[in-house]
Amino acid sequence: MTDLFDFSQVTLQEIGDKVQVSGNATSKWNYDPTDHLEASVTVLYFYRREWVNTLISMVFKDFCNVIYDEKQEVYRIWSKYRKDKCLLNGTKFIYETFTVDMMLKVPMIGPEGRHKVIIMVKAIDINQMVRNPIFCTEIIGEVIRV
């Protein structure tokens, strides 16, 4: 993530099972403004010493439009607290102070246990060619039913 953003002016404070976020981050991703961003999210489950696919997988063909759509979950968690344009190099993400509840309420028919979310974002030019670099990050957590 630090290859994509400068987080030196972001403050994270743990408050129980929540994280309070304040400050601002600056995008370091140098893609062409005529490109569109495509994102994918895949959830895997740790089963018998290996990661296996679940039924949860999403692709956002126009990531910049999706993150500002108030009906999308990503807007509730991340975008509604930002006052910026997508991820262009030098874009400063100015966050109103907000708290992220680390206990996500996700209706799911899957098993409890260790899960991994893989998030990939890539820039695609007008000829539909993928530009490097491709941003990829993984978040590992425990799913429990409450």
Condensed to tens digits (0 to 9), the pLDDT of residues 108-118 reads 666 788 999 99
pLDDT at residue 129, rounded to an integer? 94
pLDDT at residue 31, rounded to an integer? 83
CATH classification for the domain delimited by 5-143, as one of 1.10.287, 2.70.220, 2.40.10, 2.40.160 = 2.70.220
Q: What percent of the chain has pLDDT over 70?
A: 85
pLDDT at residue 64, rounded to an integer? 80
Any idea where the domains of the chain sit in the sequence?
5-143
Rounded to an integer, the average pLDDT of 104-130 is 84
- Cα–Cα distances (Å) from 20 to 73, 81, 89, in that order, read 18, 12, 25
Rounded to an integer, the average pLDDT of 118-132 is 92
Which pLDDT tens digit goes with each residue over 42-100? 999 999 999 999 988 889 898 888 877 888 777 766 666 565 567 777 878 777 788 87
DSSP string across 53-88: EEEEEEEETTHHHHTT-TTSHHHHHTGGGB-S-SS-
Rounded to an integer, what distance in angstroms lies between the CA atom of residue 127 and that of residue 134? 17
